[in-house]
Structure 1
Amino acid sequence: MYGSRQLVRKSVLILLGLAWLAPVYLMIVNAAKPQDSYLSSSAWAPSDFTGLWDNLQLAWTKGHLGGGVASTTLYALVSPALAVLIGAAAGFAIVALRLPRGFLWLAVIFSSTVFPIQMLLMPLFTQYVKFDLYDSRFGLVLIYTAISVAFTSFVMRNFFAGIAPQTFEAAVMDGASTWRIFWRIYLPMSVPALAALFILQATLVWNDLLLGLTLTRSEGVRPLMPSLAALEGNYGGTTIPVLLAGGLIVSLPTVALFLAAQRFFSRGLALGQF
C-alpha cells in the first residue's frame, strides 16, 4: 500500500513538472527555428537550432535590449536591497525595540498592499511629472523600493519574533548600542531570510511591465520588459522566433539567480515563515 502511494505521488509530481516545463520547451524550440521555416512546421517539433543565434542577435539589436538589461539590473539590485534593509529595520523596531502600538504600525505599512497598483497609476504618473521624477532612474528605484517594503517588513517582523528577547537584553547589558545590535547581531542572524526576500523582490522588479511602461519613455531608462513589449509593438516585421528569443534573453537572468541562490532561498522560506 505504501509503495503504491509513493508511486502515485511520484507520477503526479512528474506530470506536474512536465506541465510546468512545457511552455519553457515551446519557447526554446521555437526561438531556435529559422524565421522562414517557423510557419511551415509544428510548434512542438524541434529544429536543428540553426536559427537561435540569429534570432537572439535580432532581438537584442532591434529591441534595444542592451539598455533595458543595464537599467533593469540596476533596479533589480538597488531597490530590493533598500527594501530589505528598510523592512529589516521596521521588523527590528517593532519586535526588538517593542515599538508602542507595534502591530498598528505593521498594519499601516502593510496597508499599502490593499489597493492594486493599477488604481495608483494615474496619481502616481501626475505626481512623478510634477516633481520631475518621470523618466528617471531615481524615480523607478524609488517606486520599486516603496512597493517592496510592505512584504519585507511583514516577513522580517515574523522572523525577528522568533529570536529570543534575551538576545537583545544581553547585548544591552554588554553595552552595545541599538544600531550595533541591529547591524552586528540581528542582521547576520537573518541572512537566509534576507537573501530569500532579496531574490523574490529582485524577480518582481525584473519582471515588471506596468510601472516601467507608465513611468518611463526613453530607452536608457526604460526597464527590460517594456523594451521587450516594444519589440512586438514597434516593429511590425518582427517574427515569432525573434520575440521568443527576446523572451529567452529576459528569462535567463532570473533562472540563473534562483539556481545560484537556491540554498539561501530554501532556508529563507523555512526560517522566514513565508
Structure 2
Amino acid sequence: MGGSQRLRKAAVIVLGLVWLAPIYLMLVNAAKPEDTYVDSSAWVPADISGLWDNINTAWTRGHLSESFSATAVYSVTAPALSVLIGAAAGYAIVALRLRAGFLWLVVIFTSSVFPLQMLLMPLFTGYVDFDLYDTRLGMILIYTVVSVAFTSFVMRNFFSGIARQTFEAAIVDGASTWRIFWRIYLPMSTPALVALFILQATSVWNDLLLGLTLTRSEEVRPLMASLAALQGNYGGATMPVLLAGGLIVSIPTVLLFLFTQRFFARGLSLGQF
C-alpha cells in the first residue's frame, strides 16, 4: 500500500469518526438516567438503565405515539402522490410533446423558487379559510405540492433519455397514451421513482416548519413538531428524554435507507439527480 493510499484511508477513517460522533453522543446520553446526566460527562458512557425509561417517557408523555402514525401517513401518501404527479408531468412534456412543454416545466418549477418562509402567512390564512388547518388532509396536500416541482424536473430529465421510438412503436401497436404511461414508461423508470420517493419521504418525515405552522393537535402534528414541543415541555433538565425522542424519530429513516439502498443507488447512478 502506497503512502497516498494510506493517507486516503486515514482521511476516510477520520471523516467516518467525525460523522459518527453525534450518533455516539445521542446514544450514550439517551441511555443515562435523568438524575445522573448533569453530573456526568457527555462523552463518557454511564449506566444504560435509563434508556428504556427515557424512550417510554418521550413516547407517552411527549405524545410521540400519536404523531408517529400521522407522520407515517404523510411520509407514504404525499411522496407517492408527488412522484406519480411528477412522472405524469414529465411524460406529458417529453413523450406527448405538450405544447409549450418547457414553459409548463418552468411554471411548475417556479413553485420552489421562493423560500417557504415567505409563504407561511398566506398559507396559514388560506388553510384557516378552507378548513384545512390542523387536518391530515391539509398536511398531505401541502407536502405533495412542495414536492411536485422537484419530482417533475427529475422525471422530465429521465424520460428525455428514453428513445422516442419506444413511444412511437407502442402507438403503432395500438396502445393508448395512458397504457404506454402505466405499462412502459413507469416500469422503465422504477429506480428513479424509488429514489425520488425515498428522498421525498425523508424530507416529509424530517419536516418541522410546516408542522409547527399548520397543526396544533397531537394526532395531526408531525413527529418533528412534537419533538420540539417535547423540548418546550421538559427543558434541558431532561436532555436524555429529548435525545431518546430524537432516537425514536431517527430510526425509521435509517431503516428506510438500509432496506432500499439498492434501489436508491440505482436511481442515483442514472445520473439524473
For Structure 1 versus Structure 2, the TM-score category normalised by the shorter chain is over 0.9
> Could you tell me which amino acid in structure 2 is paired with residue 269 of structure 1?
L
CA distance in structure 1 between the aligned counterparts of 2:94 and 2:13, rounded to whole angstroms: 42
List structure 1 runs of 4+ shifted beyond 4 angstroms.
none
**1:47-196 alignment, distance < 5 Å:** 47-196=46-195
Q: Structure 1 residues 155 and 170, CA, compared in 2 at 3 Å: closer, same or farther?
A: same
1:227: which partner in 2?
Answer: 226
Secondary structure in 1 matching 2:269: helix
| 1:236 Cα offset (Å) | 4.6
| 1:272 Cα offset (Å) | 5.2
| 1:237 Cα offset (Å) | 7.8
| 1:55 Cα offset (Å) | 0.6
Deviations 1:182-212 (A, max 9, x none): 0000000111100000000000000001101
| 1:234 Cα offset (Å) | 2.4
CA distance in structure 1 between the aligned counterparts of 2:158 and 2:13, rounded to whole angstroms: 33
| 1:252 Cα offset (Å) | 0.3
CA distance in structure 2 between the aligned counterparts of 1:103 and 1:242, rounded to whole angstroms: 50
CA distance in structure 1 between the aligned counterparts of 2:197 and 2:235, rounded to whole angstroms: 37
CA distance in structure 2 between the aligned counterparts of 1:115 and 1:231, rounded to whole angstroms: 30
| 1:47 Cα offset (Å) | 2.0
Secondary structure in 1 matching 2:98: coil
1:264: which partner in 2?
Answer: 263
CA distance in structure 1 between the aligned counterparts of 2:101 and 2:128, rounded to whole angstroms: 35
> Could you tell me which amino acid in structure 2 is paired with residue 146 of structure 1?
V
Q: Structure 1 residues 237 and 114, CA, compared in 2 at 3 Å: closer, same or farther?
A: closer
Give the aligned length: 273
Q: Structure 1 residues 89 and 139, CA, compared in 2 at 3 Å: closer, same or farther?
A: same
CA distance in structure 1 between the aligned counterparts of 2:237 and 2:173, rounded to whole angstroms: 66
CA distance in structure 2 between the aligned counterparts of 1:91 and 1:6, rounded to whole angstroms: 44
Identical-residue share of aligned pairs (%): 74
> Could you tell me which amino acid in structure 1 is paired with residue 227 of structure 2?
L
Secondary structure in 1 matching 2:221: coil
Question: 1:88·1:153 contact (CA, 8 Å) conserved in 2?
Answer: yes
CA distance in structure 1 between the aligned counterparts of 2:6 and 2:235, rounded to whole angstroms: 50
Question: 1:156·1:272 contact (CA, 8 Å) conserved in 2?
Answer: no
2:209: which partner in 1?
Answer: 210
> Could you tell me which amino acid in structure 1 is paired with residue 30 of structure 2?
A
Q: Structure 1 residues 128 and 272, CA, compared in 2 at 3 Å: closer, same or farther?
A: farther
Q: Structure 1 residues 272 and 198, CA, compared in 2 at 3 Å: closer, same or farther?
A: farther
CA distance in structure 2 between the aligned counterparts of 1:14 and 1:242, rounded to whole angstroms: 31
Residue range with higher mean Cα deviation, 114-123 or 32-41: 32-41
TM-score (normalizing by structure 1): 0.97
Question: 1:232·1:238 contact (CA, 8 Å) conserved in 2?
Answer: no
Structure 1 portions without partners, runs of 5+: none
2:254: which partner in 1?
Answer: 255
Deviations 1:4-35 (A, max 9, x none): 22222222122111111111110000000111
Question: 1:148·1:201 contact (CA, 8 Å) conserved in 2?
Answer: yes
CA distance in structure 2 between the aligned counterparts of 1:118 and 1:207, rounded to whole angstroms: 16
2:199: which partner in 1?
Answer: 200
> Could you tell me which amino acid in structure 2 is paired with residue 206 of structure 1?
W
